[in-house]
């Protein structure tokens, strides 16, 4: 049951990250909290569009909003990104094997003793 919930959470995180504007918002928030107005500035987007992106990030637990009157500054919560990293790192042996094979291949290509070897 816990696994099912985590899977749903992970799906939600990945869906939230599947947009370059939302990733840029996270990069900005890694520098410190910001209001929606401050976040909207560099993106040349209307406030409602930025607000929509922030809501997606908030639902995914990547952004938390402050309670300060009308400003409600946004802050980054990187917890779900640790789950993303942990999930992706499972596959490190797979991508590293690929590189190892490429190394073997290059060694074969370059190795003088193997130059005459037939395939």
Inter-residue contact 55 to 62 (CB < 8 Å): no
Quick one: CA dihedral 13, 19, 23, 28, positive or negative? negative
Residues 67-96 that bind a copy of itself (CB under 8 A): 76-79, 81-82, 84-85, 87-92, 94-95
| Smaller CB separation from a copy of itself, 48 or 89 | 89
Residues 15-44 that bind a copy of itself (CB under 8 A): 15, 17-20, 23, 26-27, 30
Question: Is 98 among the residues that bind a copy of itself (CB under 8 A)?
Answer: yes
DSSP bridge pairs for 75? 64
| Smaller CB separation from a copy of itself, 55 or 114 | 55
The residue whose two tokens read 């409600």 is 72
The CA distance from 47 to 1, in Å, is: 39
Question: Is 14 among the residues that bind a copy of itself (CB under 8 A)?
Answer: yes
Inter-residue contact 12 to 79 (CB < 8 Å): no
Give the binding site for a copy of itself (CB under 8 A).
7-8, 10-12, 14-15, 17-20, 23, 26-27, 30, 76-79, 81-82, 84-85, 87-92, 94-95, 98
């Amino acid at each position: 049951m816990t696994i099912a919930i985590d899977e749903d959470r992970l799906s939600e995180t990945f869906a939230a990250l599947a947009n370059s504007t939302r990733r840029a918002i996270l990069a900005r928030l890694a520098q410190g909290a910001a209001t929606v107005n401050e976040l909207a500035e560099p993106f040349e987007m209307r406030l409602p569009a930025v607000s929509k992106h922030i809501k997606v990030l908030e639902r995914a637990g990547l952004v938390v909003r402050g309670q300060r009157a009308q400003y409600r500054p946004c802050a980054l919560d990187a917890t779900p990104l640790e789950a993303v990293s942990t999930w992706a790192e499972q596959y490190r042996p797979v991508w590293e094997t690929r590189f190892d094979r490429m190394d073997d291949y290059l060694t074969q290509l370059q190795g003088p003793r193997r130059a005459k070897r037939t395939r």
